[in-house]
Structure 1
C-alpha cells in the first residue's frame, strides 16, 4: 500500500475516528481489522513524540503497543486475535475519552461567552461594521505536504499580518479565529472572522477575496479558502432572516443579532469531532482581538 498521499494530521485523524467508531459500536469487526492493517503502520511511521494527542489517539497507541510490543510496525499483521484484543482493551480508556470531551465542551462554552461579549462590545460602539467570514484551508491535492507544524507556522504568520492592519486588513477593528480539523476533504482549517470599520470599508465580497488570496500566497500556493460572501449565499441567509455578514448597522437589532450568531459559529461546544487531533506545545486553537485598548475612541482610559 502506498502512503505517499497521506500526511501526519490525516493519519492521526483516521486513527482517532477508528477508536471513536469502535467505542460507539458503529463499525463491524472485519472493517476494524481492515482499518487496523491500513492505519497502524502509517500512524507509527508518522508518530511524533513532541506533539500532544487527543485521548482516542493515545488509547490507540497504548492498546496497540500492549498487543504487538517491540515488533517493527511494518511486520505487524492484525489478525482476528489481535483485533479482538484491541477492541477489548479500548474499553479501559473510555472514561478518559469521555472526560476529555466534557472538558472540551466546557472550554468551548467559555470561548463562546467571551466571543459574544467581544462582538457585542464592538457592535455597541460602532454605528456600522463590516463583518467578513472566511474559512482558510488547504487544497486537497496538496494537503499531504502540510503537517501540524506547517499549519501552526502559517497561522502564526497570518495572525501577524492581521495584527499589522495593512493592505486588506486596514481599518480592521476586530477579529476572531478558531482552528479545527475536519474530514479528509476539509482537513486542517481556520474559521476566520474579520470586523472592519463600516465607515471606511464597504465591499465585503472584495475584502473576503483579498484576504483569501493573501492566505494562498502566504502558504506558497498550498492554501485555499471558502468565502461566505457571494451574492447567492448571502441572499439565502437574507431570505431566512439570518444574514449576519456584510454591513451591520447598530440601529438594526436583527442585523446585530445575526452578526453575533454568525460570529459564535467559531465556538460550538458540541463540535467534538472538529477538534485538532494533535497539536504542538503552546499551540493556540482559538483567539480574538482586544477590545479594551487605550486608543479605542469614546472610551475612558484604562486604569493602571
Structure 2
C-alpha cells in the first residue's frame, strides 16, 4: 500500500482506505505501521468526507473507526494517533475487523450485479444486431487528467455524466445517427474516476469511426472544463492490433458475419466484467447508477406504441 501520494483526491483516498482496511483484516501489519497509515489516511479523508455520499463497506468501517479516533483525540491534533496505546489500537483494529465478512458479501454482490449488467448489455446489443444489417461500433474511454483529479469528486462526475447522457439522448452533433449506446463508470487506482463508453451508429449516416470517437472525446473535454482526458479506441493503430489476431470488435460491423458480431460483442463486454472488482466505485450519490444502456426502440416499434396509446391500450 503506497501512502506517499503527494496530492490526495477523493478517488485516491477512498482507494487507499479500502487497501488499508483490507490489509488490517487479511494481512499482517504491526502496530507502528497501523498507526502511521491510520494517521495519514485520517487526515486525508477529513478533506473529502461527505455525509451525503454512500460509501463502500470498507469506507463505512473506516468512518466508524474515525469516530473512535475523534473520541480518543478529544481535540488533540491527528499526529497524536502515533501515540495511541495498545488498548486504543486494539479497539480500532476490532472495529475494522468487522469488515471481514462484509468484504466477501460486497464482493459477491458486485459479481452478481456485473453479471446482470452483462446479460442486459448482451440482450440489448443482440436486439440491435438482429434488427440492423450493419452497424458502426465506436469505443471511447473518458476520464480526468491525473494532475486535475484533486478537483474531481463523485458529484462532479455525476454532473459531467448527466450532461453527456443528455447530449447522447438528444443526438446532438457527434451523436447524430446513433442507433444505441452503453456506458460504465469505474474507479481505478491511477485513472481515478473514468467511464467506458460504447456508441453504435448507423453507418449509412456516419462513416468515420475514428473521427466520431475523437469528437466525443473533445466534447468530454469541453464538458469537464478541460479537466478531462480521453482515449480513442478506434484509431487505425489501435484497431490494427486486434485485426492481426482476428479480434477486431469496433468500427464497421456487418451483422450477418459471425466473426465480426462475435468480436463486437466480446469488445462490448469489457464494459461489464465481474472480474474487475478492483475498479468498483467506493463512493456514490444516492440512487446513482454506474451502468446504463439506451432503449431499443426503432421507428416501426415507436409507431406501434403510439397507435396503441391512441386506441386507449
Does the pair score TM above 0.5? Answer: yes
For residues 176 and 24 of structure 2, what CA distance do their matches in structure 1 show? Answer: 49
Give 1:58-77 correspondences, 5 Å limit: 58-69=60-71, 71=73, 72=75, 74-75=77-78, 76-77=80-81
| Superposed displacement of residue 199, structure 1 | 1.6
- Matched residues, number: 301
Give 1:61-100 correspondences, 5 Å limit: 61-69=63-71, 71=73, 72=75, 74-75=77-78, 76-79=80-83, 81=86, 82-100=88-106
CA RMSD of aligned residues (A): 2.4
Give 1:216-231 correspondences, 5 Å limit: 216-231=221-236
TM-score by length of 1: 0.91
For residues 137 and 281 of structure 1, what CA distance do their matches in structure 2 show? Answer: 22
SS at match of 1:5: coil
SS at match of 1:270: coil
SS at match of 1:192: strand
Q: Does 1:204 align with 2:235?
A: no
Q: Does 1:187 align with 2:192?
A: yes
TM-score by length of 2: 0.88
Q: Show the counterpart of 1:147.
A: 153
CA displacement, residues 73-129 of structure 1 (integer Å, 9 cap, x when unaligned)? 743423473445433442222112221211111111111000000011111111111
Q: Show the counterpart of 2:27.
A: 25
Give 1:1-304 correspondences, 5 Å limit: 5-25=7-27, 30-69=32-71, 71=73, 72=75, 74-75=77-78, 76-79=80-83, 81=86, 82-183=88-189, 185-291=190-296, 293=297, 295-297=298-300, 301-302=304-305, 304=313
- For the 8 Å contact 2:24–2:97, the answer to whether it is kept is no
For residues 30 and 164 of structure 2, what CA distance do their matches in structure 1 show? Answer: 43
- For the 8 Å contact 1:177–1:190, the answer to whether it is kept is yes
For residues 256 and 76 of structure 2, what CA distance do their matches in structure 1 show? Answer: 63
For residues 262 and 26 of structure 1, what CA distance do their matches in structure 2 show? Answer: 39
| Superposed displacement of residue 16, structure 1 | 1.4
| Superposed displacement of residue 20, structure 1 | 1.9
Runs of 4+ deviating beyond 6 Å: 1-4
Structure 2: give runs of 5+ residues left out of the alignment.
none
Aligned in 2, Cα 1:264/1:2: closer, same or farther, shift over 3 Å?
Answer: closer
CA displacement, residues 213-262 of structure 1 (integer Å, 9 cap, x when unaligned)? 00001111101111112222211111122110011001211110111111
